[in-house]
Structure 1
């Protein structure tokens, strides 16, 4: 029986469904379009600049979502495994994905504005609490390059690797790829573009492992499993996960970014307004619909999506759509493997202040020099 099952799976993996019609990415040798669009739109509609800034309600909304997920943890600690699975998909998955997209907003400093980068990073660590994988700080350093070098080889880790594109080439394999999408998103940057670990990433890791420990200690393994399942299921075959495909996979030749104007924007911080977001990454999600309203001539003619479920269906069963269906560019700049260390800078400033204070209070007392 086991050998028959293995044989059936292999047949499905290699044969089931239409084979993708692409054998390479769509290569482009021009710059990404959004910087040019931004300048044109601001020149014609300078009032859009008033939308820049941060969302004052954002911190409270995210805090409520974090608390709600932990309430679910408490309520499910003694529940049946079937209920835990269903809750993880239908409610926990929704809240979990909302928090992932909150981390995306925080990467653009939507919590406290561009003047308080450290506050934004620390709040991102807080938003990460119900998501067992410590990813908030790491996400920012890769995501900013996705905007700056969109589609550029290696620099944009949102683009599937050649290994993924060559392996997942029929409907069944693409379905498998969707299911394991959380793992590809998590580990792709570590494989193709490894950066130095920053101090805040270490803090993010330690804090998240501590949160995970307390969830297991006080709520139990069922509650922790609920959080794990919420994370995995919400990024795989789940309606909200449709945005991963809808944003940049080519559904119309020549168009690189697509918006989604359906109802799930209400629970995903308007991430569906993705063309608008790439045009103006420092406008918070809550104000992105106003961009389209002010400058409809730049958006109404573009192809857009009305259903993320339809996008997932199209990805699996349309031979023209698959991991190769991305616009790609040669890299313009060398890879930057460095890390931004916030605390190192703050410690240096504190040392300087301490030195000045010591000289002010004890002017005759020499400051000891470091012995190497």
Structure 2
């Protein structure tokens, strides 16, 4: 338990992110992949059923004891709410209603946000664009931990605490790394979310509100689904900054495990990413991949060569907004 992860620095590179070139190569060989760049007609119905399920769950948990409430918040609410955050991730790429209906996507993301208990969707979209455009970009990609996180959370015990507090770091990190003005949509997101939380509170009391918030915090903290946070971009093998996972948990997380494919083609819905791998297998089969998100979490905590510093960073030139 005394072993320390590397606490010196990130893996600095002086090359562009690999996804742009690979996208060009794949499209040159398999132009038919462009046919997958269409909205997912089922996404809005799946998400709507999940929001309705969590609304009914709020009613069902209102009379539970606090012990059982925490259990169900982790075992059920955590899974559903984490899955909803990944639905919001998909929606942020306009795959629910298409690019021509961008406003519908933004409003639908606010709707998908309701069971999470705290406003999330509008801020996520604002920063997630930078994650794709400036992958690993110093001062731009807020998915990369800060230097403080890398130096302090470097032992198994501290890395476990870091995983547990991961939702908090995702909220606070953008304010330090790349602060941006609050947008009108973020204010609308906050007002609607607060109104929904108050509605639940006045209808059924404090426990359903706790169920929503605890489910979100626990589900995005030390939870099997949270293995994808580490699996996606932490450098388990030198020279590789993005990894895919092809296991069964993809069925519950909108195929976020197909992360190499997602960064190659962000406009393709998660439901169609397995087809990308099937259509261009030689571009993905020989790349490093993860077989278990739980194993990823275990290795991250107990392997002394992996920690918050295990990320590729680069200096990126700002792209002019159109």
Moved more, 251-260 or 185-194: 185-194
Deviations 1:301-321 (A, max 9, x none): 011011100000000000111
Indicate which of 126, 135, 138 corresponds to 1:141: 126
Q: For residue 73 of structure 2, what is the aligned residue in structure 1?
A: 88
User: What's the offset of the Cα at 1:21?
Assistant: 3.1
CA contact (8 A) 1:182 1:236 kept: yes
Instruction: Tell me how large the CA RMSD over aligned residues is.
Output: 1.3
Deviations 1:38-75 (A, max 9, x none): 00000000110100011001000000000101111100
CA distance in structure 2 between the aligned counterparts of 1:77 and 1:29, rounded to whole angstroms: 54
Q: For residue 39 of structure 1, what is the aligned residue in structure 2?
A: 24
Q: For residue 156 of structure 2, what is the aligned residue in structure 1?
A: 171
Asked if 1:247 is matched to 2:232, the reply is yes
CA distance in structure 1 between the aligned counterparts of 2:151 and 2:316, rounded to whole angstroms: 21
User: What's the offset of the Cα at 1:160?
Assistant: 0.1
Asked if 1:330 is matched to 2:286, the reply is no
Q: For residue 191 of structure 1, what is the aligned residue in structure 2?
A: 176
The residue correspondences of 1:278-297 to structure 2 (distance < 5 A) are 278-297=263-282
User: What's the offset of the Cα at 1:22?
Assistant: 4.6
CA distance in structure 2 between the aligned counterparts of 1:282 and 1:256, rounded to whole angstroms: 20
Q: For residue 29 of structure 1, what is the aligned residue in structure 2?
A: 14
User: What's the offset of the Cα at 1:17?
Assistant: 3.0
Asked if 1:152 is matched to 2:103, the reply is no
CA distance in structure 2 between the aligned counterparts of 1:87 and 1:110, rounded to whole angstroms: 31
Give the structure-1-normalised TM-score.
0.85
CA distance in structure 2 between the aligned counterparts of 1:153 and 1:51, rounded to whole angstroms: 32
Unmatched 5+ residue regions in structure 2? none
Give the structure-2-normalised TM-score.
0.98
Q: Secondary structure at the match of 2:233?
A: coil
Q: For residue 186 of structure 2, what is the aligned residue in structure 1?
A: 201
Indicate which of 111, 114, 137 corresponds to 2:99: 114
Unmatched 5+ residue regions in structure 1? 1-15, 341-372
Asked if 1:302 is matched to 2:287, the reply is yes
Structure having greater relative contact order (Cα 8 Å, sep ≥ 6): 2
Which protein is bigger by CA-based radius of gyration? 1
CA contact (8 A) 1:270 1:285 kept: yes
CA contact (8 A) 1:154 1:331 kept: no
| Structure 1 moving runs of 4+ over 6 Å | none
CA contact (8 A) 2:159 2:307 kept: yes
User: What's the offset of the Cα at 1:154?
Assistant: 1.1
Count of equivalent residues: 322
Indicate which of 11, 15, 18 corresponds to 2:3: 18
CA contact (8 A) 2:88 2:113 kept: yes
CA contact (8 A) 1:249 1:256 kept: yes
CA distance in structure 1 between the aligned counterparts of 2:318 and 2:174, rounded to whole angstroms: 17
CA distance in structure 1 between the aligned counterparts of 2:292 and 2:172, rounded to whole angstroms: 28
Q: Secondary structure at the match of 1:130?
A: helix
Asked if 1:267 is matched to 2:237, the reply is no
Q: For residue 218 of structure 1, what is the aligned residue in structure 2?
A: 203
